[in-house]
Homo-oligomer: A and B are copies of this chain.
């Protein structure tokens, strides 16, 4: 096991009716900015639950945060927050709303050019307005981590930043808020959380037995309950298990003491930045291709994954590894998320653009062994056509 530091101070309120706990967490005199996305929270009763809990507290609204939230939108919220002296930000939504709110919270306290926050991957952040979350989609894990991904529409740059200043003070996870999600968002969320686990697990062995088994436990749970979220959208336990899985998948716990891959996420982010695919779609396309390309280096963990998660009974190591990749791809398809670039109308013409953007970001040594170069990415994309 590698040395590590682990710290996660976000408080979680989990379960039906927990939105009422907002009253215990937001200071009475706060000036709160409620941030949200396309407005579904105004139709499904979540906004009403939030405002009921905030009775007596001054709040403002900023809606219209898009999936893969735009820097340009966030900047408008920053201006509004400064103008209204906002001192608490309450993100009500999924990962996009939370990610955007983290950026807005940091940028509101930042004196220089806000884009610095992204180009320094968070290094420039010196403070942030306090953030709290009401989660409405099990997917990104943003509700319990210091990470945010923001897209600059103008330049098609999709970048991430990390800062302890933007860790949510609390997050409220009520599984019922996810009952009314469209199947596409459910599928993308399941793929996203599943891939979060895999990027921290299918690398090379580090003899970290707890982390491996926690990863396998999350994968097995998502496998079992992911399809049920599509077929039984109002099954509380299914939604609860998926919601807690997604949070645990990317709150730092699985990363303790083990290598991380993250090639799939970084390549996928560039594709979303250019071509607008959903985040989950890019992961479903790229992950199997990365694995196929790196099958020799990842073989030991692919076999462990195939045996423990998929219960593959074969004895030949290569067969187990290959079947593990194929089952994973099939699972994504089962969740309604296609796994080839051609499924999204993309072809080999995208390869130079993606490779050039990765070079521009200096993302030239990807993967757990830092050995995936831009040339390798081109070959991976060919496998994903």
Contact = CB atoms under 8 A, between A and B. Distances in A.
Nearest to A219: B213
Identify the interface centre among A11, A210, A241: most chain B CB within 10 Å of its CB: A210
Nearest to A245: B210
Given A216-B217, A217-B216, A217-B217, A241 B15 contact: no
A224 interface: yes
Contacts of A212: 217
B244 A257 contact: yes
Q: How many copies does the complex hold?
A: 2
B4 A15 contact: yes
A9 interface: yes
Contacts of A241: 1, 207-210
Contacts of A6: 11-12, 14
Given A216-B213, A217-B210, A217-B213, A9 B9 contact: yes
A211 B243 CA distance: 13
Contacts of A225: 209
A320 to B, nearest CB: 19
A8 to B, nearest CB: 7
A113 interface: no
A2 interface: yes
Interface in A296-339: none
A11 B5 contact: yes
A17 interface: yes
A220 interface: yes
A43 to B, nearest CB: 25
Interface string A1-31: 1111111111111111110010000000000
Contacts of A2: 15
A218 interface: yes
A31 B240 CA distance: 46
A237 B205 CA distance: 12
B210 A248 contact: yes
A292 interface: no
A274 interface: no
Interface string A210-252: 1111101110110011000000000011001100110010000
Contacts of A214: 213-214, 217
Contacts of A49: none
11 contacts: A1-B236, A4-B12, A5-B12, A5-B13, A5-B14, A208-B240, A209-B221, A209-B225, A210-B221, A212-B217, A214-B217
Given A216-B217, A217-B217, 5 more contacts: A1-B244, A2-B15, A7-B10, A8-B8, A214-B214
The 10 lowest CB-CB distance pairs between A and B, nearest first, are A213-B217, A3-B15, A9-B9, A7-B11, A207-B237, A209-B221, A6-B12, A1-B240, A209-B241, A210-B244
